[in-house]
Amino acid sequence: MSLTAADVTADVAEALFLQPAELDHQLDLRDQGMDSVRTMELVDRWRRAGVPGISFIALAEDRRLERWIEVVRELQPVAAEPPSLRTCIATVSLGGSLTDKLDAVAAAGFDGIELLDADLRDSSLSASEVAARCADLGLTIDAYQPFRRAEGVSAAEFTDVLARFRGELDVMAGLGTGSILVVSNTDDDADPDRDLSARQLSALADAAAERGMSVTYEALAWGTHVGRFADAWDVVRRAGHPALTVTVDTFHMISRGEDAGALDGVPMDKISLAQVADAPMLSMDLKQWSRNHRCLPGDGEFDLRTPLRALWAAGYRGPLSLEIFNPEIRAQPPHDVAARGARALDALLAELDGAVPGPDASGDPVRA
């Protein structure tokens, strides 16, 4: 589907509760009632309509309708082609300095990273220097993570949560990344009211949207009240915010006994990140299992193929990221681990019987 100038005009008019003829194509849309939340809703709508490169930042440069029509036209693919797979790895998966990690990730052929906040804090590099280094290596920063104790807190504390969150948005601006991963509350005093969690996540998404950014929410298996993917999706669904999505993590799903059926009915445009880790089947504390025993695909006993096949069959086209918490693996040379990780991920994807789009002539997965 190709969006025409009339389509773009109609969508903008609908967002502003106007008739298309009432819009001034040369006047700044902010003066006609457009705000950041409505802009993010249009970004979401146009991505789903086949404009994958559209973003808040692209629209914020010039907020006249005539320019938005040009932007949509420029970013639409000439022909609809199946998107290629993007592979990433979380920096927590590797040992060494952040510079060592970035070099190893690029050498292994990954497309991007999830950047752990502690890796940035411990680095001698500033956020802008990390962004420049990634650009030089051809890497994207697909997510900045994690942001903790974000929801299920009292109204008084949430004021402090917002202040902390805005500080992280400043860091993200320096990094040039637009997505922050928020994890479910794991503290004993977390409030079980999911509507409260939805409202608080919506407030964070509002703050992110004002900066042209978005929030992705992940259920930690040991979350006090949100410990399963289904729980996290329920909160995101209740929030209904265009700048709020949900993350799939194979460890958290499988360790809590969830299968691919947990993904049924979830719109794939509301899943923005899929994290992959294998593990041995153990009976132990979930947090300790996750933090110490994750391993590369094929080295454990988890069925990773079924949920991944379900994701792609349903239309998921976001990043696929290795997230391997394991101190023994982090003690190994990062170049070796990154290379093994890339091979393991390729081997896993090769077993998905054509479910993953973008194979080359040899049948191997193609990386964007």
Q: Which of 3-7, 28-32, 188-192, 280-284 is least confident?
A: 3-7
| pLDDT 10s digits, 77-88 | 765 444 567 899
The answer to whether residue 365 scores a pLDDT higher than 50 is no
Sign of CA dihedral 42, 77, 71, 317: positive
Query: What is the model's pLDDT at position 3?
Result: 86
* Per-residue pLDDT band at 12 (split at 50, 70, 90): very high
Q: Are 273 and 216 in contact (CB under 8 A)?
A: yes
Q: Is 289 helix (H, G, I), strand (E, B) or coil?
A: helix
| Main-chain dihedrals φ then ψ at residue 214, nearest 5 degrees | -145, 165
- Angle, helices 127-137 vs 155-175, to 10°: value is 50
Burial (Cβ within 10 Å: 0-12, 13-18, ≥19) of residue 244: buried
| pLDDT 10s digits, 143-199 | 999 999 999 999 999 999 999 999 999 999 999 999 999 999 999 999 999 999 999
State both tokens at 360: 């080359």
| pLDDT 10s digits, 297-307 | 999 999 999 99
State both tokens at 147: 């942001």
Query: What is the model's pLDDT at position 315?
Result: 87
Burial (Cβ within 10 Å: 0-12, 13-18, ≥19) of residue 358: middle
Q: Which of 67-76, 102-111, 167-176, 225-234 is least confident?
A: 67-76
Q: pTM here?
A: 0.81
* Per-residue pLDDT band at 2 (split at 50, 70, 90): confident
Indicate the helix (H) or strand (E) that contains 271: strand 271-276
